Structure 1
Amino acid sequence: MDLFRRNNALNLNDNTVNGATADIAITTHGSDFYFAICAAMGLSGFIFIGLGYRKARRDRLFHYITASVVFVACIAYFTMGANLGFTPIAVEFPRSDPKVAGTYRSIYYVRYIDWFITTPLLLIDLLLTAGMPWPTIMWVVVVDEIMVITGLVGALVESRYKWAYFVFGCVALFYIVYQLAWESRIHAKSFGRDVERTFMMCGSLTTLLWILYPVAWGVCEGANLIAPDSEAVFYGVLDFLAKPCFGALLLWGHRNIDPARLGLAIHDYGDADAVVQEKKIKPETAASGATATHPDGYNGTAPHVDNTV
């Protein structure tokens, strides 16, 4: 039956692009894996959107951002599974291993298009969770874009100059890791233990996984050490953990966090008031001079962050 026939993508879309043929390319196994990750990304996106519709429109910001990440990744993985979105690039280091022997390797530029869109969204998810101000968020996003672009340029360079771009990207990554591991972590503490826990869980996962991406680049696009099928698994597992798993963890952490606490006072067109107001202190509490305390440690005195939308 047609429903169960073998993956035919590589027969329909061969390894030749503009007259050059990639002789180091994925097999049907790599294509199958890319399609499997594509399905996981798409399913995650619909689940995230479905969970968002259980909340008021003003509280769906993190659902929309996170769903956007996995939907973009879904399209990118479909493209790679179909053996499209790549260009043959001559390898700097020819190998004798039959799995990586050859002259031209498939470099999937569509992967970097995916990252150019999704990694800023992931950082926005994290930095908004930490209540970081917009100027800082925009600056970190620009550094992230530098990291992705230098990774793409390096992958497309055939000479040893590719490693200079690798270094540029690593420097950008180290700055992002510093922001997540230090400044944003400290800032998140000001908003209560529940916000701090959510940021720590998601920020730690992102930091650990993103440090592994340069390793993947080095053994795949850089040094031509592992086969394209293994490249598919390496990047695919990292992306699965960094996007659907990250998204599930983030949305679970945000389930009881009011976005207004993070400076995200969003007005819905059906609301009577234009700004979401903080809960008022009970009169008897105010009269006694006591301070109202959030059950998770938030005392209402977090630093003001104007991220009003």
Structure 2
Amino acid sequence: MIAPPMLEGLPPNDATHVMRVEASRVAAQRISDMISETFDPAEVAVANFERTDNDWVVEVYAGAAFDPERLREMVEIAAGPEIASTVTFGDVEEKDWVAASLEGLAPVRVGTFVVHGGHDRGRVGPNLIGIEIEAALAFGTGHHGTTQGCLHAITDAARRGAPRRVLDVGTGTGVLAIAADRLFHTHVVGSDIDAIAVRTARANAKANKAPAVQMIHAAGAGARVLRVGGPYDLILANILLPPLKRLARPLRRLLAPGGRIVLSGLLSAQVPAALAAYRAQGLRLVSQRHIEGWATLTLAADAGRPLR
């Protein structure tokens, strides 16, 4: 069976260059892992997909961060000089990647949430929470397994009572922050390192009658503006494994006593690596959900474990 493309991060907004190489499944995975672990996902995205049996393709998209020689060296380290000699480079037209790939998709229902585009506004049934998100230069329209997993986790959190403060790190389109606001009617903060994503999220919050959600442009979870707004009873982080591992300590410090952290953006095979980073910060696994090969984890603090 031919595997669908597996994209580690969306191509950045300035993506104008692409690297392409063919390799065996194992070599392709090594190449993909090395590049995705090395670069910031906001600057470089890696697509890894099967063409025929044991014949895989790796494509790397980037803009200003594109360095052909460095990428070729990384391929050589991961897969050897023979495969590195077959690497090709090209230019791609700058485009709105998300709008191009997700335009026209049907509404997605998760629990009481229905995430939809403007053309499906009339299809939201009674007693459901409609969240209108158009495909734009930010991640999160509800169609990806990671977004759906987080929406399920928000629904699960409601069974424990409404959290007083919610933080959505890497908010993208703002869909999770908006969902939390619509369900909990509480203080919600969304943050992202991408200024375009923040502008998109603010527009979506306004369109969804959730203007009280604070959408903040912040360099990371350690930003002072996020510390001032905490601690948070529920923290959502739908990103990718490398930044999630780096965020383990700062997110733990933002968590209120008795609070929970929801992690996603993880392939099911990456769960052990993510858990190791957060268990080191005194967090334990409460639940996990897997959708189309993607995992969403809910974590809570172990009683009596100090911050590290």
The structure that is strand-richer by fraction is 2
TM-score when scaled to structure 2?
A: 0.27
The structure that is helix-richer by fraction is 1
Whichever of the two has the greater Rg, that structure is: 1
TM-score when scaled to structure 1?
A: 0.27
Highest RCO, 1 vs 2 (Cα 8 Å, sep ≥ 6): 1
